[in-house]
């Protein structure tokens, strides 16, 4: 599908009645000059600001630069006084403003007003990957129609909309042709990552990019019940033009997954009725370029926008228009998706508000309950009729591997195995009281928690010998650098211990609405925890040592004094690998020596069954 002619170049798309009146006035005879000292006629009223985008002016062949976003943000506020507001919510590392437009039919245009009225907020954002820019162009089109009442009438009386045209602003201005050779249009576009080469859609949990810190503050202020992230997907060539993934898709406190499932079904049905070929899952094959390998509908971890929203007890919607559709068709898909969403909002904003309230209440009651931090697809699949194109695989004289060639003139149905029955993966039991972070790490951990809207308290006095569960890693491995960090993978478990808790340590209670997010952040084995992202890597480094000649002397003393230790050592010698490893043999004694650093491999995050507060 392509946008209607009313959306193509040369047409002004708003306030037709006002424009007709202006034309009629221009064609009428000029009025008599009013009497006055100057004898001059009064200046004509200023024309309304144009809300037409570069994309519309060029038939969706080009997209505008960021200066257009700055102009349109001001223009929307001028064109819809009291119903639209231009909001600056951050500044990029290269000094550009980060902008959003708030829209409401009745002037509910700031966070305090939405809270006072318990007004649901719907946030939709474009350009987190700035080469995938359909969301910006489709979002401006949809927002204008929402404010004009041409789309989802009544939606802006039931909810406040927040539109972030471009999240990755500096990446947007790294503007040139051929940024994405696997995407049809526009002629020029921005780049995937920020000026600091960070991928914002991997940064929601670790929150290191200045842009992400600004976005998290925006989310915390407005607290949207639904967050929509507008992307363009890559991958094989096929007919489906848009995928819409709604989270949570797995059991969630308060039954939020049921509301998300209902929204997903409604969006799929409405998009189909509008002539699209939507998918409810991310269209990525388990093996690249091999439809026969199937598709897993496994939810992503909360480093991604839609899963981060779910961890906050909110509904996240990932929209992926297909890169091989034309830019006009992709923009139309964004427009229609937003129309479908706001139609649902107009009819059911109260249900969305109630659903997230139930999720908050359920999250605050997680203490002592099991919670799945990951899910995996079961081995059971069903056949999904996937609309693809004929293709062939042939040997390549270029790569020396296999070359897949698609024939877009020959549509066909692929019978693809779909693995969409999900089962819990990593499951933890939430602590009875919460977590404690020792004072040495309190400042920077508190900063992360504030960004995520997580509540915590500082211990006003030390608590010596406090009963905790401590996680000592049995094995640690480090992955290659990723997003500027060295991720860590741990093996181990929490075990009962007693530790001195200094004054100034952080207590993070589990009895709070964002308890699911707390678990994702502080459980060491969670895939996007602070531990997993490498923030605690120094805890796994030895800082003291014992020279070999000293260890030789100490080992002999220890064996002479402890028959049980001698028996344990002799048993270990029956392992050939251990027996021939001189370093491991000396390390056996060093780890049992009084000088051994008991903090090595100790994760500085404790679980507690009772509050340490006085």
Residue with tokens 């100057």: 38
Spatial CA neighbour of 142 closest among 103, 115, 105: 103
Q: Token digits for 562?
A: 């402890």
Say which DSSP state 49 is in.
P
Q: Give per-residue burial for 521-546: e unless 16+ CB within 10 Å, then b.
A: bbbbbbbbbbbbbbbbeebbeeeeeb
The full DSSP string for 72-109 is HHHHHHHHSTTTEEEEEEEE-TTSPEEEEEEE-TTS--
Residue 225: count of CB within 10 angstroms of its CB = 26
> Residue 450 is inside which H or E element, if any?
helix 442-451
d(CA 376, CA 221): 33
Q: How buried is 90 (Cβ within 10 angstroms: 0-12 exposed, 13-18 middle, 19+ buried)? A: buried
Neighbouring residues of 363: CB distance < 8 A, sequence distance ≥ 6: 253, 254, 313, 512, 513, 514, 515, 516
pLDDT given at position 49: 86
- For the chain of 614 residues, list the mean pLDDT of each consecutive stretch of 10: 39 32 33 47 76 97 98 98 98 98 98 97 98 98 98 98 98 94 96 98 98 98 98 93 98 97 98 98 92 95 98 98 97 98 97 98 98 97 97 94 94 97 98 98 98 98 98 96 98 97 98 98 98 98 92 95 96 96 94 89 98 96
Residue the block writes with tokens 């928690």: 449
Q: Is residue 257 helix, strand or coil?
A: helix
Give pLDDT, residue 178.
85
| Residue among 412, 409, 540 at smallest CA distance from 487 | 540
Distances (CA, A) of 130 to 8, 63, 192, 227: 23, 11, 5, 18
Helix boundaries (H) for 452-562: 515-522, 548-561
> What distance in Å separates the CA atoms of residue 604 and residue 441, rounded to the nearest whole number?
8
Question: What pLDDT is stored for residue 29 in this prediction?
Answer: 38
Q: Where are the beta strands (DSSP E) in 234-357?
A: 242-247, 278-279, 295-296, 315-322
Q: Specify whether the backbone of 254 is left (phi greater than 0), alpha (psi in -120 to 50) or beta.
A: left
- Interatomic CA distance for residues 158 and 313, integer angstroms: 20
pTM, to two decimals:
0.90
Cα dihedral: 522, 528, 534, 540 (round 10)? 50
From residue 152, how far is each of 335, 336, 341, 342, 360 by CA, in Å? 12, 11, 9, 6, 28
The answer to whether 605 and 531 have CB atoms below 8 angstroms apart is: yes
CA–CA distance, 34 with 230 (Å, rounded to integer): 54
């Amino acid at each position: 599908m392509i946008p209607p002619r009313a959306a193509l170049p040369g047409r002004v798309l708003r306030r037709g009645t006002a424009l007709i009146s202006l034309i009629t006035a221009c064609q009428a005879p000029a009025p008599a000059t009013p009497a006055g000292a100057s004898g001059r006629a009064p200046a004509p009223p200023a024309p309304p600001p144009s809300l037409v985008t570069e994309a519309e002016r060029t038939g969706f062949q080009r997209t505008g630069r960021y200066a257009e976003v700055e102009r349109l943000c001001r223009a929307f506020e001028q064109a819809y006084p009291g119903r639209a507001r231009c909001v600056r919510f951050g500044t990029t590392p290269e000094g550009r403003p980060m902008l959003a437009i708030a829209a409401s039919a009745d002037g509910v245009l700031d966070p305090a007003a939405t809270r006072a009225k318990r007004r649901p907020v719907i946030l939709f954002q474009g350009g987190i990957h700035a080469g995938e820019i359909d969301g910006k162009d489709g979002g401006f089109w949809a927002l204008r129609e929402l404010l004009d009442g041409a789309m989802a009438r009544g939606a802006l009386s039931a909810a406040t909309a927040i539109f972030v045209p471009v999240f990755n602003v500096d990446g947007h201005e790294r503007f040139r042709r051929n940024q994405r050779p696997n995407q049809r249009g526009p002629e020029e576009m921005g780049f995937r990552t920020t000026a600091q080469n960070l991928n914002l859609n991997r940064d929601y949990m670790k929150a290191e990019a200045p842009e992400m810190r600004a976005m998290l503050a925006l989310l915390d202020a407005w607290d949207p019940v639904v967050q929509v992230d507008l992307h363009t997907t890559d991958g094989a060539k096929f007919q489906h033009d848009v995928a819409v993934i709604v989270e949570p898709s797995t059991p969630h406190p308060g039954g939020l997954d049921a509301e998300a499932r209902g929204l997903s079904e409604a969006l799929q049905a409405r998009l189909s009725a509008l002539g699209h070929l939507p998918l409810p899952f991310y269209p990525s094959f388990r093996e690249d370029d091999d439809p026969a390998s199937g598709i897993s509908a496994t939810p992503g971890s909360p480093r991604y926008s839609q899963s981060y929203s779910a961890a906050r007890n909110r509904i996240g919607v990932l929209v992926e228009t297909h890169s091989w559709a034309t830019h006009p068709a992709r923009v139309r898909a964004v427009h229609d998706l937003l129309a479908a969403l706001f139609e649902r909002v107009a009819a059911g904003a109260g249900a969305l508000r109630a659903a997230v309230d139930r999720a908050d209440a359920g999250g605050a009651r997680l203490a002592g309950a099991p919670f799945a931090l990951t899910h995996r697809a079961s081995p059971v699949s069903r056949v999904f009729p996937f609309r693809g194109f004929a293709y062939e695989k042939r040997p390549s004289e270029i790569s020396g591997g296999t070359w897949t060639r698609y024939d877009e003139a020959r549509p066909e149905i692929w019978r693809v195995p779909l693995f969409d029955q999900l089962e819990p993966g990593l499951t933890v039991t939430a602590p009875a009281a919460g977590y404690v972070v020792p004072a040495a790490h309190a400042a920077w951990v508190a900063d992360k928690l504030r960004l995520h809207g997580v509540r915590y308290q500082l211990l006003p006095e030390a608590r010596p010998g406090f009963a905790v569960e401590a996680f000592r890693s049995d094995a640690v491995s480090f992955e290659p650098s990723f997003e500027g960090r060295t991720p860590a993978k741990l093996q181990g478990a929490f075990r009962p211990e007693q530790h001195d808790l200094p004054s100034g340590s952080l207590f993070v209670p589990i009895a709070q609405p964002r308890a699911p997010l707390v678990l994702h952040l502080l459980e060491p084995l969670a895939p996007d925890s602070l531990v997993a992202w490498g923030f605690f890597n120094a805890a796994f480094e030895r800082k003291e040592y014992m020279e070999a000649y000293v260890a030789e002397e100490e080992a002999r003393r220890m064996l002479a004094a402890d028959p049980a230790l001698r028996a344990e050592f002799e048993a270990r010698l029956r392992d050939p690998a251990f027996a021939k490893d001189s370093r491991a043999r000396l390390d056996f004694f060093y780890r049992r020596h009084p000088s051994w650093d008991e903090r090595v491999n100790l994760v500085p995050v404790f679980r507690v069954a009772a509050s340490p507060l006085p």
